[in-house]
Amino acid sequence: MPSAINAAVAQQTAAGSVPSATVSTTEGTGGGTGGIYSAIISRNQPIIKVKEKTYEELHKKCLEQNILYEDPDFPPNESSLFYSQKIPIKFEWKRPREICENPRFIIGGANRTDICQGELGDCWFLAAIACLTLNKKLLCRVIPHDQSFIQNYAGIFHFQFWRYGDWVDVVIDDCLPTYNNQLVFTKSSQRNEFWSALLEKAYAKLHGSYEALKGGNTTEAMEDFTGGVTEFYEIKDAPKDIYKIMKHAIDRGSLMASSIDDNLGFSYGSAPRNSIGEQIARMVKQLENAQMSYPTVDYQATDERPAWTIVPMQYETRMSCGLVKGHAYSVTAVEETIFKGEKIRLVRLRNPWGQVEWNGPWSDKSEEWNFIDEDEKIRLQHKVVEDGEFWISFQDFMRHFTKLEICNLTPDTLEADKLKTWTVSVNEGRWVRGCSAGGCRNYPDTFWTNPQYRLKLLEEDDDPEDEEVICSFLVALMQKNRRKERKLGANLYTIGFAIYEMHGTKHHLQKDFFLYNASKARSKTYINMREISERFRLPPSEYVVIPSTYDPHQEGEFILRVFSEKSSLSE
């Protein structure tokens, strides 16, 4: 529903605290697949550090000198692979031209079925890639398509990611880790296609190593592909209109993924039962078996099954119905069809492995398809092929899956199809021990020292059916650089935020204020995720948003984003 908000966001700092600057306050248009991108995609151009040469400069230099690019910042050695332990196996870094004949960057368009997971534990990342391929405008933003192994080839490629408020251009060479002439990590279903492997390498460089990608939430990569804002649903507690929410998300070009808890609380793609060394050792054995099965290195992939298939991630639990616990799936379609005279809701998902599918009702070979005419099968893109993608009834989806993640390009993605103008205010901040790392409200002696951001809600929602005088807005808190700092022992902090009414004061709120005033709103929980977000409806007034870690004295950087509909001013 449409709403009207005028929000002003600014940070108040106590004496000795560390101020943070408002990075950007930018306006864009939401609504409709042609206009939803402007608030997120177009608001920032790629950021290039002044001291670094651009992709264009490096590419031109390599062509002029007739050399292949070698990346000094992400070299082809163990430092780019793993940080927790040394692996007693020697990988060979090879360029695609050394792996196969006639390598190609993209063959016939980048598709969700191109992606096959390796032995890294980054199914969360690959599920996001599959979603990305469904949105061609986003895809071309992240993966510039004017790259080739033929025309002006110089061994250099680049990809673009949203990084804490800005778009960054990540330049890499095309050396990839191999064993027995096979890619170790992500690969395409077609042996001579390399866009997905190179995208994974660029993302690994962004975070410092391939190992840094092990385990995560799909929302992280979705946000890095879009700059969007993520909403997270526990399916057992999902709203009654969750199907409508999913349908709106797909129609608006949002990225969406789902997963099944493994009952042990591990994040997607993590390997609690296996060290990196054990995973790689198992993978090498599989590769050697594959080498014996397929002795010809020129073996080509077919439409039915990818070449050199390795079933990865054995620590994830495969159920008798074909689904895998502790594993992330891309949601690639949400549709309705007529079955025996009745309307039935369907969800299409994809396993990043590129194989292992649901085998229940509406699976590829199930009898339900015998009652669907050919035109409808074509509309639903039904295929009987082991490619990791399958249909499942919405009822079975709700029964088996436990989590749903939706990355919206603007906050109105899931609402009515109306054009809206959104303002995104991005504020940087830091928690500093002994200064501004006060922990949550459970620590009254230090909570007041946390950074404080002023929020002015000046106009009520424009909803004639709602008699309440209410303003709607969305707050998203993201902690920075924790994945990249894993090699230094960093983990995600448990984070959250609270919102208090300020009662006219213009100064940093002190300890006594919080002893006598309750919060007007807050995040549902404190949780160790990179970003948490929440929608709120509050009366027009002046508020303060206080982001914090759960425990005090934890140092780190963050960004706080506030999404509102009308012009947002920073003080």
Burial class, 491, CB count within 10 angstroms (exposed 0-12 / middle 13-18 / buried 19+): exposed
Nearest CA among 157, 167, 165 for reference residue 199: 157
Distance, CA of 275 to CA of 85 (rounded, Å): 9
pLDDT computed for residue 279 by the predictor: 53
- Report the alpha-carbon distance of residue 212 to residue 205 in Å, rounded: 9
Sorted by sequence, the CB contacts under 8 Å of residue 289 that are 6+ apart come out as none
440 counts as catalytic: no
- Supply angle C-alpha 272, 274, 276, rounded to 5: 110
Other CB atoms within a 10 A radius of the CB of residue 258 amount to 24
First to last CA, the chain: 29
Element (H, E) at 330: strand 328-339
Please state, as a whole number, how many other Cβ atoms lie within 10 Å of the Cβ of residue 460. 18
Phi-psi region of 32 (alpha: psi -120 to 50; beta: other; left: phi over 0): left
For residue 441, give the amino acid letter.
R
Whether 403 contacts 233, CB under 8 Å: yes
- The per-residue pLDDT for 412 is 55
Is the sign of the CA dihedral 118, 83, 553, 547 positive or negative? negative
pLDDT at 36: 29
What are the pLDDT digits (tens) for 11-58?
Answer: 443 333 333 333 333 333 233 333 323 333 333 344 444 346 799 999
Q: What sign does the CA torsion over 48, 50, 52, 54 have?
A: positive
Angle at 281 between CA 275 and CA 283, to 5 degrees: 105
Closest alpha carbon to 241 in 70, 468, 398: 398
Query: Catalytic one among 59, 207, 327, 508?
Result: 327
Residues in Cβ contact with 516 at an 8 Å cutoff, skipping those fewer than 6 apart: none
Catalytic annotation present for 116: no
pTM of the model: 0.74
Q: Could you read off the pLDDT of 347-388 as tens digits, one per residue?
A: 999 887 778 889 999 999 999 999 999 999 999 999 888 788
In degrees to the nearest 10, what's the CA dihedral of 123, 129, 134, 139? 180
Residue tagged active-site, from 62, 100, 116, 123 = 123
Per-residue confidence (pLDDT) for residue 458, from 0 to 100? 79
Any idea of the CA torsion for 478, 480, 483, 484, to the nearest 10 degrees? 160
Residue stretches of the chain with pLDDT short of 50: 1-51, 264-277, 287-288, 290-315, 416-417, 419, 566-571
Residue 567's pLDDT is 42
Q: Structural domains in the chain?
A: 9-37+421-564 (2.60.120.380), 47-221+268-293 (no CATH)
Spatial separation of the C-alpha atoms in residues 316 and 124, rounded to whole Å: 13
* Tokens standing for residue 475: 């707050």
Contact status, residue 192 vs residue 102, Cβ threshold 8 Å: yes
Res 286: pLDDT: 54
Residue of 192, 351, 408, 427 with catalytic role = 351
Indicate if 351 belongs to the active site. Answer: yes
